[in-house]
C-alpha cells in the first residue's frame, strides 16, 4: 500500500497534484507535508475522522484557504502562483457542491444556476436560461424546479440544485463536500447513482469529501484516508480497508462498515 508521502503515480497524468501541503489556523496545524494526486476521470473519495481537515483540504485546493506551504498544481499550473487571470481560468474548469447546496436564498433555482453562467460567459439571457434548464435536468430535477426558491425544496432537491449550479460551466472537475449528508438512504443511493452516471456520461473527474460508506462502495475508484495531518493511505477501497491502522480498521470493520460492505458485495 502506498501512503500519501510516496505515491508511485505519474504526476503528469494527475489533473490535480498536491505536494508538501501545510494548512493551519493560527498555531493549529491541520495538514503537514500532505501529498495527493487526483487522476483524470476518477472519483476519489476523501475520508477521515472528525478534525482531520477533509473540507479544509478541498477549500485549500479551490482557493478558499491559502496553504501555509506546499504546492497545488491543477491542469499542470501552480494554482497559487499562476496569477489572478490564471486562477480565474482554472476556476472556470471546475464546479463545487458545498454542504447543503450553499444556494442563494433570494434567487430561484434557475437564477442560482445562471449566476456562474452570467459571471463567466458572454451569452444572451435566453441562452443562459436554456443552459440552466439543461443543467437542472441533468441534476435530476423536474423542469418546474427552476422557478422555485431554495426554501421551497426538500434537502435532496437542494443538493441537486447545488449540483446543477456546479455543472453550469461544463466543468472538467467537480468537488463534492459531503454530498449525501442529511439524505435518507433512498435519496442518498439515488444521488450516488446520479454522480456515477454524470461521471461516465460527461467524463468528469470527481473529488468527493464524504463520511458515507455506501458512497465509497457505490461511487469511488480510489479512497484517500486523512489522519495524522496527511494522507496515510490511498488506493482502491478493497486495498485501503485492509490497511493496518486503528482508525481504518474501526471505520471499515465497525457495524456500519460491515453493513455497507455486505450491501455492495
pLDDT tens profile 72-104? 999 999 999 999 999 999 999 999 999 877 899
Mean pLDDT of the chain: 91
Name the residue with higher pLDDT: 132 or 263: 132
Residue 2 has pLDDT above 70, yes or no: no
How high is the pLDDT of residue 177? Answer: 95
Least confident window among 17-26, 87-96, 155-164, 256-265: 256-265
- Per-residue pLDDT, averaged over 191-196, amounts to 96
CA distances (Å), 122 to each of 116, 118, 119, 125, 126, in order? 11, 7, 8, 10, 12
Does residue 265 surpass a pLDDT of 80?
A: no
C-alpha cell belonging to residue 194: 446520479
pLDDT for 5: 38
- Is the pLDDT confidence value at 196 over 70? yes
pLDDT at residue 3 tops 60: no
User: Cell numbers 436560461 correspond to what residue?
Assistant: 129
Question: How do the domains of the chain map onto residue ranges?
Answer: 105-171
Question: Confidence band (pLDDT; 50, 70, 90) for 12?
Answer: low
Please give the model's pTM, rounded to 2 decimal places: 0.90
C-alpha 262: how far from chain center: 25
Amino acid at each position: 500500500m502506498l501512503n500519501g508521502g510516496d505515491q508511485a503515480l505519474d504526476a503528469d497524468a494527475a489533473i490535480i497534484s498536491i505536494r508538501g501541503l501545510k494548512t493551519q489556523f493560527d498555531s493549529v496545524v491541520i495538514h503537514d507535508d500532505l501529498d495527493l494526486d487526483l487522476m483524470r476521470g476518477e472519483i476519489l473519495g476523501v475520508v477521515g475522522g472528525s478534525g482531520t481537515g477533509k473540507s479544509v483540504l478541498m477549500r485549500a485546493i479551490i482557493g478558499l484557504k491559502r496553504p501555509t506551504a506546499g504546492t497545488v498544481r491543477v491542469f499542470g499550473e501552480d494554482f497559487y502562483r499562476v496569477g489572478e487571470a490564471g486562477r480565474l481560468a482554472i476556476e472556470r474548469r471546475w464546479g463545487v457542491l458545498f454542504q447543503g447546496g450553499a444556494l442563494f436564498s433570494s434567487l430561484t433555482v434557475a437564477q442560482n444556476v445562471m449566476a456562474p453562467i452570467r459571471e463567466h460567459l458572454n451569452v444572451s439571457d435566453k441562452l443562459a436560461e436554456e443552459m440552466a434548464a439543461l443543467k437542472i435536468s441533468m441534476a435530476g430535477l423536474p423542469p418546474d424546479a427552476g422557478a422555485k426558491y431554495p426554501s421551497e425544496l426538500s434537502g435532496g432537491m437542494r443538493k441537486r440544485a447545488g449540483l446543477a449550479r456546479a455543472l453550469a460551466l461544463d466543468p472538467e472537475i467537480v468537488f463534492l463536500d459531503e454530498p449525501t449528508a442529511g439524505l435518507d438512504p433512498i435519496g442518498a443511493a439515488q444521488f450516488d447513482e446520479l454522480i456515477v452516471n454524470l461521471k461516465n456520461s460527461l467524463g468528469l473527474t470527481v473529488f468527493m469529501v464524504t463520511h458515507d460508506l455506501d458512497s465509497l462502495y457505490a461511487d469511488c475508484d480510489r479512497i484517500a484516508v486523512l489522519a495524522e495531518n496527511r494522507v496515510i493511505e490511498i488506493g482502491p477501497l478493497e486495498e485501503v480497508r485492509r490497511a493496518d491502522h486503528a482508525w481504518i480498521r474501526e471505520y471499515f470493520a465497525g457495524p456500519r462498515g460491515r453493513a455497507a460492505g455486505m450491501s455492495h458485495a
